[in-house]
Amino acid sequence: MTVMFSKKCEYGLQAVLYLAAHMDRDAIPAEEVAGKLSIPKEFVSKILQSLTESGIINSRKGKSGGFSIAKDPKKIKLIDIVAAIDGLSMFNSCVMGFPNCDVNNPCPLHDKWGELRTKAYSMLTDENLDQFREKTLRKVSNL
């Protein structure tokens, strides 16, 4: 069940983590990412292309082409990927969709959601791709 992120963002996070876990390779084809993560290839290609435009990953065309991480994984935070795909509005909007939901005019879930939203934002801001390398490799090997 997706609570915070779109399916596109979930797949983007998975794909970037997969690329980061395979930094020892020059370029990984979209077909491989799609196959290993069980994501439709066309969807993966579009997601990876948009992440290329945001500077998170590189794209190389040709026979030995594919995608790779654009910079040191220690410098890429998970929030960077979320921002590139879904934006950050989820961290400022009402979980129930009420307009003008704020401290002075809260919705029924305002306080509880605020706690969860703050924790989620902190986790995404504190964690970088390098910190998930081994866990990603274990997860993918179990798929």
Distance CA 44, CA 35 (A): 10
Q: For 121-140, b where at least 16 C-beta lie within 10 A, e where not — what string? A: beebeeebbbebeeebeeee
> What is the average pLDDT across 48-74?
92
pLDDT at 18 over 90: yes
Cα-to-chain-centroid distance, residue 102: 27
More confident residue, 96 or 140: 96
* CATH code, 7-141: 1.10.10.10
Helix axes 78-85, 7-21, angle to 10 degrees: 140
> What is the average pLDDT across 78-98?
91
> What is the average pLDDT across 65-93?
92
pLDDT at 105 over 90: yes
In this prediction, what percent of the chain has a pLDDT beyond 70? 97
> What is the average pLDDT across 101-109?
92
CA-based R_g, the chain, Å: 17
Q: How far is CA 121 from CA 7, 44, 95, in A?
A: 18, 25, 14
pTM of the predicted model as reported, rounded to 2 decimal places: 0.85
Distance CA 100, CA 107 (A): 9
pLDDT at 1 over 60: no
pLDDT tens, position by position, 36-57: 999 998 899 999 999 999 999 9
pLDDT at 139 over 80: no
Helix axes 41-53, 30-37, angle to 10 degrees: 120
